[in-house]
Structure 1
Amino acid sequence: MSEKHLKAGDPLPPYNGKLRLFAMRFCPYAERSVLVLNAKNLQYDLVFINLDSKPEWLFEFNPKGSVPALEYEQGKAIFDSAIINTYLDEKYPEVPLQATDPLRRAQDKVFVELFLGAHSSFYVAAFNPDGFQPSHLEAYSKGLERLEKELEVRGTKFLHSNEPGLVDYTIWPHLERFESLPLLGKADMAIDGTKYPRVTSYLEAMKQVPAVKQYYLSAETHAKFVESKTKGEANYNMLDTSDVCCMRPRKKKQ
């Protein structure tokens, strides 16, 4: 299998009739859609993109040139993880990932929106540590506190229910990356199990979810990618094991 990221000048791989997701292996937004595809047990191909040298044909699927983009029919695509994932959940309802109650669906979206501050703080801490301010640590801590409280209020194993849903697959990719922060010199951003016991249990539970296990990368792997990117030499292909460019994801041995 391959995790080679295609770049400018590389040809578009042949279309095989399946759903096809254009992604970047270390992109949390693309990971959201991978997790939903996995959770729904859908057959799909992955095409990884070098975001520093984008293939010209990527813009045919997303004029913004960003990932993820989902090719749902040959030459036809939608983009943005929130749009893609809602489409997948409605198009393939056999494994529903959203609450049936409209209010709970709205509350899930509100929670995701409020958790964005923690996402932003992670990016500053990881990729621009010189710009990190006390306000970033405050926003990060507030996000973890909000998640801790939400898990307590809902009283379920996952935010969705006792099975993970769209809200969980939406916030998980960033939580997965949060664990790399101590390895990047941010010991004060480690997730303290005594302070956040429910968050800690939630993290461990999510790691055991089949849809997550197929695509999960360790904190060490995420830290290595961040370090390569901050040095100006993003190592997109650090996980590549063959010359095949389209693949089904699998769990990596770290």
Structure 2
Amino acid sequence: MSEKHLQTGDALPAYGGKLRVFAMRFCPYAERTILVLNAKNLQYDTVFVNLDHKPEWVFNYSPKGTVPALEYEEGKGIFDSNIINFYLDEKYPDVALQSTDPLRRAEDKIVVELFAAAQTAFYTAAYNAQALQPKQVEDFHKGLETLQATLKERGTKFLHGDYPGLVDYTLFPFLERFEALPLVGKPEFALSKDKYELLVTYIETMKVAPAVKPYYLTPDTHAKFIESRNKGDANYNMLDTSAVCCMRPRKKKE
């Protein structure tokens, strides 16, 4: 499958009978769903979408024209990464990505909520730097500090436990992109290992998790996309190699 992003006027590929995710290769929200699909060993097809020149048919699956969207039956879709991922975890429970403890599930949602300001700061720093305020830099580091404190408190390899769970796959796509900020002229967003030793170790461990490794992109690659988008010509198709395999069977839990 090609990583080419389809755009206005392009035909929708024929339905292949599997789950199908509509995504954008550099979108952290779309990556969340890709990682969950991988973690659950599900067979799926991927259709990448140019978000600047959206194909007409994407609105059939995502009324807002956003990604990700999931075609769960031919012609039927749901959208929004959180909605999709909770659906997948309930629909395909063989590889459970959430705790059975209702309190821990609630705590995981709080972890995600407390991280939201850091995500917002990333988008401003990367794509609207002239609007960046000192408070957002503070919010960014406060989010990282809170996340590191949670890792220390839980004392487990991943936030979920011995293997990554939904909370890890929800946060990691942004952590992956945070490392690109110093490369686009934002050194104040660097993740210093002296300050964030535990968090940096966690990030490095997540990079090689089975669900993450084949989809992970380097900071340099993310920086190149950010720069292309800021120049007004987002290079959606900069990855011209074949797409990663959409079927990833594994025998063991991560």
Instruction: Report the TM-score when normalising by structure 1.
Output: 0.95
Question: For 1:236-247, what aligned pairs fall within 5 Å after superposition?
Answer: 236-241=236-241
Counterpart of 2:46? 46
1:137 aligns with 2:137: yes
How far apart are residue 162 of structure 1 and its match? 1.4
**Which residue identity lines up with residue 45 of structure 1 in the other structure?**
D
SS in 1 for 2:17: coil
Partners of 2:120 and 2:247 in 1: how far apart? 27
Partners of 1:96 and 1:173 in 2: how far apart? 20
**Which residue identity lines up with residue 74 of structure 1 in the other structure?**
E
Counterpart of 2:183? 183
Aligned residues of 2:126 and 2:181 also touching (Cα < 8 A): yes
How far apart are residue 247 of structure 1 and its match? 6.1
Counterpart of 1:92? 92
How far apart are residue 62 of structure 1 and its match? 1.2
Aligned residues of 2:214 and 2:244 also touching (Cα < 8 A): no
Counterpart of 1:248? 246
Aligned residues of 1:13 and 1:246 also touching (Cα < 8 A): no
Counterpart of 2:229? 229
Backbone CA RMSD of aligned residues? 1.4
Structure 1 residues 32 and 162 mapped into 2: Cα distance closer, same or farther (>3 Å)? same
Aligned-pair identity in percent equals: 65
Counterpart of 1:210? 210
How far apart are residue 249 of structure 1 and its match? 8.1
Aligned residues of 2:7 and 2:49 also touching (Cα < 8 A): yes
How far apart are residue 128 of structure 1 and its match? 1.0
How far apart are residue 241 of structure 1 and its match? 3.1
SS in 1 for 2:123: helix
How far apart are residue 240 of structure 1 and its match? 2.2
SS in 2 for 1:213: coil
Aligned residues of 1:46 and 1:246 also touching (Cα < 8 A): no
Aligned residues of 2:89 and 2:96 also touching (Cα < 8 A): yes
Which stretches of structure 1, 4 residues or more, deviate above 2 A after TM superposition?
A: 245-250
Instruction: Between the two structures, name the one with larger relative contact order (CA 8 Å, sep ≥ 6).
Output: 1
Aligned residue pair count:
248
